[in-house]
Structure 1
Amino acid sequence: MAFQTASLLAVSLLILWVSPALGGANDAEDCCLSVTQRPIPVFLVRAYRYLLLKDGCRLPAVVFTTQRGHELCAPPDQPWVGRIIRRLKKNSARRSVPAVTL
């Protein structure tokens, strides 16, 4: 009886030790638990990243990082989210083009 209990305990500990490694690159801390439906002012946003189902998250989201470093989760299918992403890409392209002097 003691051997069965020890074996069950060993298997349980092994499963707990291995299971976080099976989750993929994103841990639960990296995923959004909810998203805001209210538009975020574009001037507050400095960066974005996607969190998708294939990354191990239960809720797909775009995470916007504000100028002060806060992260806000938004639904990727909303038009206002697409507008912010396009604006950030446009601003990034503008900054990366070197100025031509004549």
Structure 2
Amino acid sequence: MAPRVAPLLALSLLVLWNSPAPALGGANDAEDCCLSVTQRPIPRNIVKAFRYLLLKDGCRVPAVVFTTLRGHELCAPPDQPWVDRIIHRLKKSSAKSKHHSTRGSPV
């Protein structure tokens, strides 16, 4: 009996391995979404950019993803005051740099 089970088991595993995984929560589910967020404040001076990953985007954990100067991505809760302060600073900094870059030098 055992010799007949092995090929059947191997075939079953092959079929499962090659089957496309069902979409559970949207396109962002595993690749782009945070599995958890840190409650510990992230130092503002190490953050260079941010983006939102929300429930409406297909993520199970809503988060703000901060990108550090070294390229690391840190997930933070979007409803925390320290997260708002970092976002405000980044937006203010971005507006300043855009303002300075639109001032052309005289030709």
Please classify the TM superposition score into its range, dividing by the shorter chain length: 0.7 to 0.9
Task: Please list every run of 5 or more consecutive structure 1 residues that lacks an aligned counterpart in the other structure.
Answer: 1-8
Dislocated runs of 4+, deviation >6 Å? none
SS at match of 2:50: strand
* TM-score w.r.t. length of structure 2: 0.72
1:68 to 42, 67, 70: 70
Matched with 2:22 is 19
Q: Distance in 1 between matches of 2:43 and 2:80?
A: 14
> Over alpha carbons, which structure has the higher Rg?
2
1:35-76, Cα deviation, whole Å (9 max, x unpaired) = 111111111000000010111111100000000000000000
CA drift at 1:24: 3.0
Query: 1:1-102 counterparts in 2 under 5 A?
Result: 16-17=19-20, 19-20=22-23, 23-97=25-99, 98-99=102-103
Q: Aligned letter for 1:63?
A: V
Q: Aligned letter for 1:93?
A: A
**More helix as a share of residues:** 1
Task: Please list every run of 5 or more consecutive structure 2 residues that lacks an aligned counterpart in the other structure.
Answer: 1-11
* TM-score w.r.t. length of structure 1: 0.75
SS at match of 2:39: coil
